[in-house]
Structure 1
């Protein structure tokens, strides 16, 4: 089975963005996430805006569907800037579940896609019921500092319909991991940071 691939950025820097076109050319992901973690928020917001603008431009030129994922401290400000309207959608953190419904109300035409970080089957069910288009489910494989791996059993526990809206995430660092995931019927794809480094 052909899995879709979803690149998640590590800490965003000017150097990373400079190498981003080559990364996209080498790995040819279907999706990419501009991710700013709580720890990256030391960057001034103006710098985040510049990096986001370059990220979107590169993704659009490469035909890659792009999402942004921001901590609460930046999310409210981001929605006021046109650059974030250029993204194909938003990916909400598990701690931002309360925003699922309000995002969908603000997006009645569904022109923007909505993703969600799930950590168990109930999270997946809840997010999709609230209008998310897809979920990442993690950690599937062992990942530093992410707790006990769910294992591929967590993916098999999802119905075929749920798997079609799910990206496996966590500990996916090699083709061997991807080959293992390819055997799971209906799985949308895999998402990773380290695989794409």
Structure 2
């Protein structure tokens, strides 16, 4: 099962030196196959995104994704872009730039739409309780979704423990994504 590490301001900070050190340590420790730079408030977003992409390349074996910004993902040589659930109409634009496209989905209909529009993968959330993310979908709903669609699905939301990862591993999910599990 693939692991998708997601950064956050709270855990990685916006200080370039601390961010670089923390990111390197966490990537080496957890060895995710995918990683996403996501910080919605950074005033030095491009600098941190550059550090992120270079660190993923330096370690190797990690597909780097930039949150929302297709042009920045392309300019930095990231492997892909992770679009929000409000960016479905941007899938083709990102694909035309030879980027892998991951998109956030919160309903079965959104997963179907992502598949039809050619996204490479979705994060489907929240599977477990997660602050400010609404009612958890649960593993049964995830399994139902996985039998309906062919797109790669990363389970996301409230994944904190090895027991939760094991529950997801028993499904046909392509992988799991988390911020807090990887810290």
Instruction: Normalising by structure 1, report the TM-score.
Output: 0.83
The unaligned stretches of length 5 or more in structure 2 are none
* Regions of 4+ moved over 4 Å: none
The unaligned stretches of length 5 or more in structure 1 are none
Q: How far apart are 1:17 and its partner, in Å? A: 2.5
Aligned to 2:72: 78
Q: How far apart are 1:124 and its partner, in Å? A: 0.7
CA contact (8 A) 2:94 2:100 kept: no
CA contact (8 A) 1:69 1:92 kept: yes
The counterpart of 2:113, out of the listed 115, 119, 126, is: 126
Pair 1:21 & 2:24 matched: yes
Q: How far apart are 1:98 and its partner, in Å? A: 2.0
The counterpart of 2:131, out of the listed 139, 144, 149, is: 144
> What aligned pairs does 1:162-177 form with structure 2 within 5 A after superposition?
162=149, 165-177=152-164
Cα RMSD after superposing both structures:
1.9
Structure 2 vs 1, CA of residues 16 and 183 (structure 1 numbering), >3 Å: closer, same or farther?
same
CA contact (8 A) 1:91 1:116 kept: yes
Aligned to 2:93: 102
Aligned to 2:181: 195
Q: How far apart are 1:135 and its partner, in Å? A: 0.2
